[in-house]
Structure formats: structure tokens, C-alpha cells
Structure 1
Amino acid sequence: MFESDASMYRKADLGDLIRRLRRRADLSQRELAARAGVPQPTIARIESGRTGDPQYRTIERLVQALGGRMHVELAPGSGRDADALAEAAPVPHDEMRDLAGRRYPAHLDVWEVREPRDWPGAWWAEWYRLPPRQWPLPLPPATFRLNREYRNERRNRERVRHSVAVRRVRSGVPRTAWRFAAELPGGELVGELRAHQESAHLRWGDGAGPPKEETVLDGVLVTFAYRRLGIGRRLVAALIDTLGADGAVCLRAVTVQPGVSFLLACGFRLEASRPSALRFEPLPPRQQSRRR
């Protein structure tokens, strides 16, 4: 709701309001300009505060194109404000600036680049993990994705990150086993951990001393679309907290990459004294005959 008084514009911070509504509608300035029939430079001036008194019809077109509606209240001193149109969440990266001092587009998700994996342009980051002196390209201060599908996927992943809950499942689980589930508010299962208790005394036949109980991590599974959100670490942490409440924690696991890197990040250490993993695959008959 807007009043005709010029002070109302200052209270509403019109440029900030348009940016918020534009982010909620997921529209760039060019897309909003095409939808509202307002030149893109005009929208840029309004959002930056360089247009002190924009025309009412211009604002009405913008608000309507963004899914809102305008209402003029002529009675002075009514005490009404623009809170009704300010329900949209603030643009989270409004304080960030690029190297030229400009704000980043409001409808995009902008994040700070601290290391190569934060930047989609660093295609070499995950493969080589190069030291800074060998980086093929300089890293920008911040980055974003223009592709709308990537944007929606990232926003959905962030919602999952903050809404997923980890709980222990007791029904149908033996007394010497553990199961933890990571679920979304609607009950969708997105991650699971299973472990069981094992006696090292029985496994190795060592009769010296009392039997030592170990907990064997059978597996940690996370839905592919929601990996690298910390769900796996939360599952492992829940198991460790439960074991710690019952006494000393002794947790063992056997895995291959990328499981090795994941468990190392969870606090595990490589145990060189354990047997190595071996693999046998029969050769085709033709290759076997050559060996003979």
C-alpha cells in the first residue's frame, strides 16, 4: 500500500521494495522491463535511488508485473505504512559489491568465493586441488549462476539443508544395532545410517584380556540430489553422540573412495594395521589361454 505523500516513498524505500519483489518473482531487470513495459534503465535508476520522484503509473506497472497491486489512500495522517508490500524477504546479498562497486542482480543467488570449489568457473578445483600459485584462473570475489534451473536447484538444496531432521530409528532394529534416518518435514527419507556391534575378541580369536566391543559402520546413504549438504556428517555425528552416551566410542568402517574422504572429514583416521582390500576378477577364456 502506498500513500501519495512523498514521505511515504522514503519510509517504504521504493527501490529496496522493488528489488525484494523482483527477487520473489525471480525476474531480472530486463525480464521485468519486458513484462511491465518500462525501460530497463528506469528500473535500474529506481532501484538505485537515483530517481527521486518516479511516476505513479511507472510504479503501478512494476508492482503489477511483480504480482502485487497498488492502493492509494488520500486521507492524510492515517498512520498507514508500506508493510503490506514489504512482506517479501530482503535480498540477502544487497551489501555485496562487485569489483566496480555495483550491486549484484537481486533475483540471483550470489555467494562469496573463498576457494575454487565455490566458483563454478573453477572446473579444475575438484579434480586437482591445486595450490593457489598454480590456479589457471584468478578467483572473483563473488559468483552466481544465470541458469534458472541451477538457481532453483540451489535454492531447493538450501531449503533441504535447513529443514532436514535426523532421528534414531528403534523399531525393528536389534539391540546391538543402530539405525538413523534423515528426513524432510513431510517425512521424505533423504539419508540413512546403519551400524552394528561386533566383538573383536570373537573376530580375531585373541584370548588375552576381556572381549573388546567395536561398532561397525555398515553404511551411510544420502539421496544423490542432496549430497554435500552435511547430511551424512549429521548422521555420523548422531551415531557418535549415541555411542558416547553409552561409554567409550570405538567406531570402525571399511570403505573405498569417495567414502574414505568422507569419513576422514568426519574425524576417522586410517588404520594401516587392518588387512588391505583385495579384488579378483576372472579373465576371459581367450586371455587365460594366452597366459598358459
Structure 2
Amino acid sequence: MTGPEETVDLAATLRALRRQADLSQRELAEKAGVPQSTVARIEAGRATDVRFRTVEQLVRAAAGRLTIALAGSAGTEPPDTRSLPLVPHEGLRDAAGRQCPPHLDAREVREPRDWPGAWWAAWGNLPPPLWPLPLPAATYRRDRRERDRRRRAEEVRRSVRIRRFTGGDLPATSWRFVAELPDGDLVGELRAHEVSVDLLLGYDLGDRREVVLDGVLVRAEARGLGIGRRLLEALRIELQRVGIVRAHAIAEFEGIGFLIACGYRVETGRPVAFSLDLEAEHR
């Protein structure tokens, strides 16, 4: 028999299964052939007499499997068995005390900018008594495509690795850093090259070298995750390691603010770019 310390939290387990299967309560109920009210009661912890057959139907509908074993029979689990991660926001409740849908990504609302419905969030520090609407305790997005995009982005943020690429046909004075996923998929790249200040100025300065940044590229769906900043940080660390104290870059549009945010300064004494548009003169 199973001891009290080994009892399963059926409500949390069912919610975790539903999250893994990406099913709403209604969808799970339809697949399992049970009333949605039954699923709701189980997940709310209000069902204390759930039939084994009902549990089996729900688990199978969520692509899970029930395993029954004798006490002390360790090591007898099926080879494809894996632990079931709990719902990240399991303890989050709305204002009425209800749990948020486990298959969606819920988050706590602490200020207007946390809630998409707070259209006044951009007005600045508006005092709470003047808020047009009360803030909910929690919020989540119903759009599964947007949810999946955010999940993929978060997975990229967690798993991406930055390294300097060397070897191959890369010249010794060329610097290349790559941002790649565990499977080798490239999501970002930084390229730069060394210049000899001695040759540029015509003086012997003890082989003084500087680096010119050629560009930082990040795949469109991976932008906004800090990958470009991490590439520049990897460049800075490598500069310190080899004893180079200065790096230069040329940027325009949003690249200017990006470099400034990463510690680069505008050099007023550097050359200015000009263009002559003959076509514009005849418009």
C-alpha cells in the first residue's frame, strides 16, 4: 500500500499533464469523454471520490500513462518514463481565488505595465486612485501562437552560448564571435578586425593595436533577448585578455543607441559621413 507520505496531489498532477499536452479544461474533457465540471472539481481539489476509471481516462487523454507498482520495487519504471514538471505558476490565483489556466503562461500583476489591459500604463506615474480600471491579481495571454513564440524566445535566452570562433580560413587579425544553440543552430554573430596604430600613424608605438567592429547580427526572432549585448561583452572580455584597450565602431539608426547602452561613446573628433544626392536636386 502507499503510505501517506507518498500520496499524489491529483489536482497538481492533472494540471501539469494538461500543460504538457497544451489542453484547456474543455479540450481535455472532450478528449477524455468526461464532463468539464469533473475536470474543474478535480483541479480545484473539491473532488475527493474520483473513480480510478475517470483518472485513467484523463491521464490518457493528456498523453500520460498510469503506472502501478509494488512498494519497494525501485528500478521497475518503464525506460521512457520521465518526471512531470509542475506548472510554473501553480500557486498563482486571480482575485476570486481561482487558479490560472495551466496551459497558458500566467504572471502576477503588480503595476499597470504588467497588464496588457492597462492602456494608461504609458502615461507615467499615474497615482492608483486615478487608474481608470482596477488591476487584476494575475494575467495571461489567450493567444497560443504568441505564447509559443514567447516560450521559444525564453528557451533561446536560457540555452544560447557565446564563443569566439577560431581556425579555418579566418585570418589571424579577424575576430568572430558566434551565438549558438546546443544543436549548433546559429542565432547571432559578431565580426571585427584588428588594425595596427603604428601603421596608421607611421610611428613606432610598440605594436599598438586596436579593434574595429564590423557588425553585430542577431536573427530576427532572437532579437530583444540580450544576445547582441552578450556578443559585445564577449568581445570586451577578449580585448582585456589580449591587452587591447580600444575598439571602434560605426553605427546608424537604432545601432547608435545600442552601442551607447553597451558602453561605447560617440567620438566627436572622428570623420563624419557625407553624401551627395544629385537626384534630389532635381525634384
Match of 1:12, SS state, is coil
Provide runs of 4+ in structure 1 moved above 6 Å: 83-86, 114-117, 122-125, 134-139, 206-211
The corresponding residue for 1:227 is 223
- Structure 1 residues 186 and 208: alpha-carbon distance in aligned structure 2, compared to 1, 3 A threshold: closer
Q: Which one-letter code corresponds to 2:172 in the other structure?
A: R
Distance 2:138 2:260 in 1: 29
Runs of 5+ unmatched residues, structure 2: none
Residue 160 of structure 2 corresponds to residue 180 of structure 1:
no
2:233 equivalent in structure 1: 237
User: Is the 1:22–1:107 contact (alpha carbons within 8 Å) kept by the matching residues of 2?
Assistant: yes
Mapping of residues 1-292 of structure 1, within 5 Å: 7=4, 11-71=7-67, 78-79=71-72, 87-112=83-108, 120=116, 131-133=124-126, 142-171=138-167, 172-199=169-196, 205=201, 213-283=209-279, 286-287=282-283
SS of 2:182's equivalent? coil
Question: May I ask how many residue pairs the two structures share in their alignment?
Answer: 275
Deviation at 1:120, TM superposition (A): 4.8
In the TM superposition, residue 131 of structure 1 has moved relative to its aligned partner by: 2.7
Cα shift at 1:272: 3.5
Distance 1:255 1:90, change over 3 A: same
How far does residue 116 in structure 1 lie from its aligned partner after superposition? 7.0
Kindly state the Cα deviation for residue 65 of structure 1 after the two structures are TM-superposed: 0.7
Q: Which runs of 5+ in 1 are unaligned?
A: 288-292
Residue 63 (structure 1) shift? 0.8
Q: CA deviation at 1:185?
A: 1.8
Is the Cα contact below 8 Å between 1:17 and 1:86 reproduced in 2? no
Distance change in 2, residues 1:262/1:97 (3 Å):
farther
8 Å contact kept, 1:240–1:249: no
Taking only aligned residues, the RMSD between alpha carbons, in angstroms, comes to 3.5
Partners of 2:209 and 2:47 lie apart in 1 by 73
Segment drifting more, 38-47 vs 95-104? 95-104
Cα distance 1:267–1:123, how it changes in 2: closer, same or farther (>3 A)?
A: farther
| Residues 101-153 of structure 1, C-alpha deviations (whole Å, 9 max, x = no match) | 3321111122355777765557898xxx6533399987655432212222222
Q: Which range moved further: 157-166 or 93-102?
A: 93-102
Q: TM-score, normalised by structure 2?
A: 0.80
